[in-house]
Every structure is written in structure tokens, then in C-alpha cells.
Chains A and B, each alone.
Chain A
Amino acid sequence: MNDFNYTRVYSMDEALANVSLGKGHRVIAGGTNLIDLMKYFITTADELVDINPISEHQTIEELPDGRLRLGAFATNADTAYHPLVESRYPLLNRAILAGASAQIRNMATNGGNLLQRTRCYYFYDINTPCNKREPGTGCSAINGYNRTMAIMGTSEHCIAVFPSDMCVALAALDAVVNIVGPEGTRQLPFADFHRLPGNTPHIDNNLMDNELISSIDLPEKGFSSSYSYLKLRDRNSYAFALVSVATALDLEHGLIKEARIALGGLAHKPWRVQEAEDFLKGKQASKTNFEAAADLILQGAKSFEFNAFKIELAKRAIVRNCMMALDPDTQQPGAQPSL
């Protein structure tokens, strides 16, 4: 790591004053991604601002109108095991528990989960060109070993994927990100928080340098009857997703009132396709309809030399996960959804 000055801050105002000072400031919360990046010199800091001593935004609270507010500084583990998350938003519980390891979930915070960076091999290898790490140097993945890379929303400058599991569930649940900055607070719908790479792959999301995430709000509707999170990866546990799917269904008399399908491992942000969700509305919760929805979701897919398999894998994962959502008991180890 480079030399940096370390400052503890005890309030949001103090934190904002520190991050507003200019470039060279980095905020540390759980540190599970930041310290790793700093050890590789991918990220450097002149001043490291430790926000852990701040007592606000550490808790999970139900708001008077029924929404659930997830403090940005609450850990992933405390969030997953909150009784209201388990009972009303089990999809979020499962997505969090699908990610990382128990140790990392005990450290990592909710705000940090949104701000984690890609695990693209070339982004991590400082000896190779990477537009995300060093704008203008080129993308090594496009013509390189791109098996784990994106197939949706890529650009000629970057085909990295966003690695979070938690965020796939937050996208499906229509979460809202609360942000504080020098001019006060603002809210961003989850879909608008992360960005596609476009011409600026070095900018992962729409949080400004002088802003902080304070919390994430979940609408009251938690889809606790029909939900499922499926994660496909190279080993059974403690690996990033090749493809992951969060499905939340609202069913009435066997018909789909509302469907949410969000995908991870496919793009620079959690991926949702409105057209596919609209298609399912009012239809029967059947394998045929889910297959049609999967085709709609993947219709714009663009694969590269080594990741064409992801298109078929994603389609099958969507169908399987939607069938599992119909009966969350089939999410038990070894259980097979009735396909």
C-alpha cells in the first residue's frame, strides 16, 4: 500500500467535510475490497477516512410507512440475519448468504457492497492495459480470456461484470439508494445507481466523489411467498457468479400478477429487462412462459470468444429459478424443482 494519512471521523458531517476536500481521499468501512485493491496499488489514497466510528446508519429500521431502511454501515451479515429481512425479504437474505464467506460478510458493509469493484482479471493485473483502471489504455479482456466477462450492455471499452450478489436482489426488490452530499440528500432508484461502461468504464456508478451512501430503502413489498436466488459458479461456495438470478413473483390464482427477474454475472450492473417482466404479467406461471421470458431477457446478448456458454446458461438458470420461486421449499439442498 502507498503511504496514507489515517483519519477517524465520528459523524456524517465530519465525513463529508473530509471527502469534500478534494481528490486523494478514500473512505474505508469494511475494507474487504478496498484493502485488497490498495495492496495491489490499483487504488491509492493520500488520506484514508475511517467512517466506522460514526454511530448513525449502522442499523436496520422499519420506517412508519412500512419500508425497511438498511443502514449503509450495517454489515452484510447483520442485514441478512435481521428478523424482518429473513421474514419479509428472504430473497435478500439468500443473495447475501450466496456471496463471499462468513468472515467477509461479518466485515463488509451494505454501502461498500454497492461500491465494490469488478473482479476482472485484467483490472486486477496492473501489468495489462485496462480502461477501467487506466482510462485510454485499452481493454485486455475483449480479445483475451473472457470466460467470466459480460454478455449484456458491454462497450468496446470494457466488458467487466459487477460482482455483487446482494445487489442483484436489491435490484429485483426495487431498492432506493439514499445519498448525502455537500448540498444535502438525494435518492437514486437502484436501477440508476450503477452505470454501464460506455466511454467511461472507470466510473462504476453515479455516486459523486464528495458524496456518501447513507442507507438503502426497500419497498414494503418483499415477495416472501415466491422468491428464489440461484447462483451458478465454478465451485459450490465462495466464488463469484458466472450467472446468478434473483426471481420474485407475485401470484394470484396461478397467474403472475407481478414478476421481477434480475441477473448477476452478466453485465456491468445487475440486469433487468422490463419487456420480459411485462410479458409475464397476467400469464400462467409455467415453464413455457418462463422460457419465453428468458429469451426476451437474453435477446440482446453479445458474447465473446470464451463466454458464449453464458447465454444458454443464463436462459436455463432463469427458467430453473422461476420454477424454484414457485415453491421456495425446492431451494433445499439437493431438491429438484419440478421442471
Chain B
Amino acid sequence: MNENKTKLTEEEKKLFGDLMPEELDEIISSGLNRRHFMKLMGLASAGLLASHLIGAEQLFARSAEIGDIADLAPAAIENGINVSFKVNNTAKKVLIDSRATLLDTLRERLDLTGSKKGCDHGQCGACTVIVDGKRVLSCLTLAATCEGKSVITIEGLAKDNELNPMQAAFLKHDGFQCGFCTPGQICSAVALMKEAKEGQASFVTADVRQNQQSVILSDEEIAERMSGNICRCGAYPNIVAAIKEAQTGKNVEQTWLFAG
């Protein structure tokens, strides 16, 4: 790890000083590692404030940016391809196996494990990332086809310690339970905001012949447009509320539907 870039800000020093005082020296001298992260996760489940955790995740995203890719390369690469692309606005050049999916490249080579491998067959949406402004499934995208493209993952949505409004809305509305589908849900929802702004219709939009300026998303529109992201915990009402709030900027109450 490059020491320069993993240097902690005063804010971060305070954060880790508060949470893991015994690890602080190690983090300052040699950067963050997975053990620190697991410990952080443990603290989170014990009631750590979510905002602290996001600060820590930001630091992880930053340290991953300068991870020495050559060191992470697997022992054998068949039919190697050099791919240059941008990940979270940082230029990357990586030698990959021709079979490597974008998802595996992000997770195994670039150490960005926010994007999740759920089904690995394009049925669950947990791997959703944003490529050149559009949401796609990274498990069905070969990394080799990403030459020159710009990829945004969940790690790239916040600006420093400031959450993307969609992330904040998911936190506020508990738009998750186990959290596994959440990175995909949030990336999908962020891209959805742009689609709605551009007036793109969905299958439940009334009349596509009228070119709409921008779409205010109803519950039904959100459900249809987010149907590519499955949540096995069933946090859907909260996810819908979070997306509504992120779009309108107004407080949204959850709508609970009970069988009549």
C-alpha cells in the first residue's frame, strides 16, 4: 500500500482513535487491512453509528485505489488481455484472463468488494454497477469489453464523507435487512434517478406516445423499474420509500400494503 494515499485525515484519525484505539498505530503506519474492516463490521453490528462506518468505507475505497494490482494478479492467466478503464474516476490498467467478468475483476483484482456476487447469472441484480452512466449487470459483462469505459461502483458514490443522497435515504428508511443486495439496489436506484429525469418510460407508464419531460416515480413505477434487483429479506417497502425520498427530497412515509 502506498503510504501517501492511505494517510489518515484528522477526522479519520479521530474516528479510528474512538473505535479501535489499539489498532490506530498500525493503521497509521501500514494502512487498513481486512482484519480492521471485519472488526469495524463487528462494531457496526454492535450499534456503531452508520455515519462512522461510511467514513471508514470511504477510506477503504481510497486505499483500494492504490492497491498494487500486479501483486493481486492470480498465478495463472489464460489468454491475457490488457484492459484500461476508469473505476470510480480513477484510471486502471489491468491484465486479465479473457474469461474474467467485470464483477470478478472489481472484487478479486481491484479489491472493490462492494459489488456483490449473488446468482452470477443475471437474475438477482446484486452485482449492478454503472457503466458510462447506465446501470448494467457486472456478472454478465466481460471485463475485456470495458476497454475505455467508466465504471462507478457503490464505493464511488459518496463524495469524501458525504453520502450520495440515495445512500442516505436507504439508511434513513432501513432499505435493507442483511445488506447483501444493497450495493446493487443503490447503484440501480442512482441510475434510475437519471432515467426518470430523462423521461424514460417503463412498462407501467400510461402512454409512451406522449414524450414525457421527467417522470415523478409512483410506488408502482419504482417497483417495475427496480424489478431487476431482488431483495430476499423483502425490504421492498423501505427501498421504495427511500427512492421516493431521494427523488423528491421530501420526507416520505412508508406505505405498507396488507392483503385485504
Residues of A within 8 A of B (CB): 1, 3-6, 8, 28, 31-32, 35-36, 39, 48, 50, 52, 77, 80-81, 83, 86-87, 90, 93-94, 97-98, 100-104, 106-107, 224, 231, 236-238, 328-329, 331-333
Contacts and interface: CB of A to CB of B under 8 A. Distances in A.
The interface centre, meaning the residue of A3, A77, A81, A106 with most chain B CB atoms within 10 A of its CB, is A106
Contacts of A39: 120-121
A182 B154 CA distance: 45
B200 A90 contact: no
B140 A107 contact: yes
A87 B141 contact: no
A329 B201 contact: no
Given A32-B137, A36-B140, A50-B144, A87 B227 contact: no
B128 interface: yes
Given A93-B201, A94-B208, A35 B79 contact: no
Nearest to A35: B140
14 contacts: A28-B142, A31-B142, A32-B140, A35-B122, A48-B98, A52-B145, A87-B209, A94-B208, A101-B227, A102-B188, A103-B188, A107-B141, A332-B207, A333-B220
B204 interface: yes
Interface residues of B, number: 43
A331 B192 CA distance: 23
A103 B211 contact: no
B145 A28 contact: yes
A97 B203 contact: yes
A162 B96 CA distance: 35
B99 A333 contact: no
Contact of A5 (B79, B141, B225): B79
A106 B121 contact: no
Given A86-B211, A102-B188, A107-B140, A3 B78 contact: yes
A104 B79 contact: no
A130 to B, nearest CB: 18
Given A81-B200, A102-B228, A106-B134, A332 B206 contact: yes
B136 A106 contact: yes
B223 interface: yes
Interface in B14-52: none
B81 interface: yes
Nearest to B204: A333
Nearest to A108: B140
Given A3-B99, A32-B137, A103 B203 contact: no
B125 interface: yes
Contacts of A107: 136-137, 140-141
A255 B229 CA distance: 44
The interface centre, meaning the residue of A1, A50, A87, A102 with most chain B CB atoms within 10 A of its CB, is A102
A157 to B, nearest CB: 27
A238 B227 contact: yes
A238 B79 CA distance: 35
B82 to A, nearest CB: 11
A5 B122 contact: no
A333 B225 CA distance: 14
The interface centre, meaning the residue of A5, A8, A50, A107 with most chain B CB atoms within 10 A of its CB, is A107
A6 B81 contact: yes
A237 B227 contact: yes
Contact of A86 (B135, B188, B209): B209
A272 B165 CA distance: 48
Nearest to B220: A333
Contacts of B136: 103, 106-107
Contacts of A86: 201, 208-209, 211
Given A4-B79, A28-B142, A36-B121, A103 B209 contact: no
Contacts of B98: 3-6, 48
Given A4-B79, A6-B79, A100 B228 contact: yes
The interface centre, meaning the residue of A4, A39, A87 with most chain B CB atoms within 10 A of its CB, is A39
A235 to B, nearest CB: 8
A32 B123 CA distance: 11
A74 to B, nearest CB: 13
Contacts of A87: 209, 211
B81 to A, nearest CB: 6
Given A35-B101, A35-B141, 5 more contacts: A6-B144, A36-B122, A101-B228, A104-B137, A107-B141
B79 A3 contact: yes
Contacts of B223: 236-237
A266 B207 CA distance: 27
A28 B142 CA distance: 10
A48 B137 CA distance: 20
